[in-house]
Chains A and B, each alone.
With several copies, the nearest count.
Chain A
Amino acid sequence: MTVERSADVSSAALGTQPRSVACQCRNASVDLGSRAGPRRILGDINFDLHEGEFVAILGRSGSGKTTLLRVLGGLVDPTPESVVTFHGRPVAGPPQDVVFVFQNYAASLLPWRTVHNNVALGLEGKVPVAVKRARISESLATVGLEARAADYPWQLSGGMQQRVQLARSLAMRPRGLLMDEPFGSLDAMTKASLQDQLQQVHQHTGATIAFVTHDIDEAVFLSDRILVLDGSPATIAHEIPVELPRPRDQLATKELPEFLRLRRQVYDAIVETGD
């Protein structure tokens, strides 16, 4: 991806200077219905996402990661006493300049549009046609699907569909990205390459990213901070800052003792949950 934002933002993204708050979450709770009436899924979640920060969210299956992300993305209403803001404005509906990458990728693509047109969806009418085309090819190339632009989503493998959704989000050049297990169906190689791409995008655009994953290596490798959800209702059980130098490298970074230490720390934090 090409460099879009100015140098000061990308330096901010390096995580050294104090940064302004992009997203605020105060006493956020969520109730969802179950067979036995409404159940509290999230209880009193408190945290800030800083401008340009990369935060990974981990937790056991069903702990509430998706729900938390949907709250930030304005797709689920938290309880009335909760305060959630994005870019300074209270979240009521999806915030401007923030894009969501869904866990259920198969359902988030429009089956009647080709891959190309699915990626185009968020750009149409917003950028000039030439720019749109360029961005689409660029982001399809990023996810390695330039050759499949003319196919329909149902002609792609699961991992490919997941990447189409990713391409659609990246093509929009958002200021905020909420990603729900975006690399969950990818093989190690494709995943590594996309991690690198995402890292680059993050550095160049200074986007604020919240990223749900089950892959501890991935969380440590990509993020500035790791939140571990636990409990019922879920709260933030652990908050682990990741202070590895950027840019990070698949081989070099993963051999750093600090990387290994963090990995172990996160692993222990997750093992500890759910018992």
Chain B
Amino acid sequence: MTSATAVLRRTNVLGVATMLLLLGAWELLIRVGLLDFQNLPAPSAVAARAQQLLASGELMTNLLHTLRVTLLGWVLASVIGIGLGLVLGLWRPAWRWSMASFELLRAVPPISLVPLALLVFGFSVRTELTLIVYASAWPVLVNTIEGVRTVRPELRDVARTLHLSRRETLLKLTLPAAMPSIVVGLQLGLSLALVLAVVAELVGNPSGLGNALILAQLALRPEEMFAYVFTIGLLGIALNAAFRQIVAWTLTSAKPLPGKVS
């Protein structure tokens, strides 16, 4: 196979087509005047503006900031989520004596932590990280707990009769068996990390895409604002694609089965 067809095979033609279709519909609605709002520019105008921002390097600077903080926050949240999830999932007393507290904390809106975080960290990247970690650790935590607690009994029997140590059982059996669930948690956490990075940049740390977005809005440049909105969405797609790719490379256990379903 030539590299060109390989590239073609790997790009998600169908997915890209769906998105283009939606964008086309939006453009059309604006062109025929069905949608006519100052703050809702046509995709073509947004693209033009995005090109300028790209050329000036402004977009890249903001993108890199958000990307870096998102990844850092996500990694921290994942480590906390998986670590705590393992403790709570595998050690029942810990679960019994603290899970209700976590369930309650889970419902605290990250945005209402902003005044607190500002008080402690001021407008800074630490405020941003706090919000990201706080919000994106939850799905990882819950999916990890659930994953490790629902390993099939047959596999537990296998581990026991093969005399695997606790550590071995965890590493070779419980974790791989829980991996699909944990992967979903991580995937949810990743998107949340991005969302919260942007939110934090709107309110708590004046840098990155979120800040650029709000400034563009305040500066009455809807095209620019949407250029950033698109960038955020595309960043979401890219992060997820990268995540899936890494999962596919590293975790055989997360691979779907060959088999007709439904």
Contact = CB atoms under 8 A, between A and B. Distances in A.
A33 B173 CA distance: 25
B139 interface: no
A94 B176 contact: no
Contact of A125 (B157, B161, B168, B260): B168
A202 B56 CA distance: 78
B133 to A, nearest CB: 30
A108 B158 contact: yes
B161 A100 contact: yes
B161 A98 contact: yes
B161 to A, nearest CB: 4
Given A33-B258, A125-B168, A154-B257, A172 B162 contact: yes
Interface in A103-127: 104, 107-108, 110-113, 121-122, 124-125
Interface string A144-188: 000000001010000000000000100010000000000000000
A96 interface: yes
B252 interface: yes
B168 A94 contact: no
A102 B253 contact: no
B182 to A, nearest CB: 13
Overall SS of chain A's interface: loop
Contacts of A99: 161-162
Nearest to B251: A112
B247 to A, nearest CB: 13
B157 A108 contact: yes
B161 A73 contact: yes
B242 to A, nearest CB: 22
> Which of B154, B157, B165 lies at the interface centre, i.e. has the most chain A CB atoms within 10 A of its CB?
B157
A111 B251 CA distance: 12
B170 to A, nearest CB: 13
Contact of A122 (B163, B251, B253, B257): B163
A41 to B, nearest CB: 13
Chain B residues touching A, range: 20 to 34
Contacts of B173: 110
Contacts of B165: 125
Contacts of A104: 154
B94 interface: no
B106 interface: no
B162 A121 contact: yes
Contact of A94 (B152, B163, B177): B163
Interface in B160-197: 160-165, 168, 172-173, 176-177, 179
Given A33-B258, A110-B173, A125-B168, A100 B163 contact: no
B163 A75 contact: no
Contact of A121 (B152, B172, B179, B251): B172
A104 B154 CA distance: 8
Interface string A58-99: 000000000000000111000000000000000001101011
A94 to B, nearest CB: 5
A102 B158 contact: yes
Given A73-B161, A75-B161, A124 B257 contact: no
Contacts of B179: 112
A73 B177 CA distance: 23
Interface string B126-161: 000000000000000000000000001011011011
Nearest to A33: B258
Interface string B226-262: 0000000000000000000000000111000110100
A263 B74 CA distance: 67
Nearest to A75: B157
Given A73-B161, A112-B252, A121-B162, 15 more contacts: A33-B258, A75-B157, A75-B260, A99-B161, A99-B162, A100-B161, A110-B155, A110-B176, A111-B253, A112-B176, A112-B251, A112-B253, A121-B164, A122-B162, A172-B162
24 contacts: A33-B258, A75-B157, A75-B160, A75-B260, A93-B160, A96-B163, A98-B161, A99-B162, A102-B158, A104-B154, A108-B157, A108-B158, A110-B158, A112-B179, A112-B252, A121-B162, A121-B164, A122-B163, A122-B164, A124-B172, A154-B257, A154-B258, A168-B162, A172-B162
Interface of A: 33, 73-75, 93-94, 96, 98-100, 102, 104, 107-108, 110-113, 121-122, 124-125, 152, 154, 168, 172
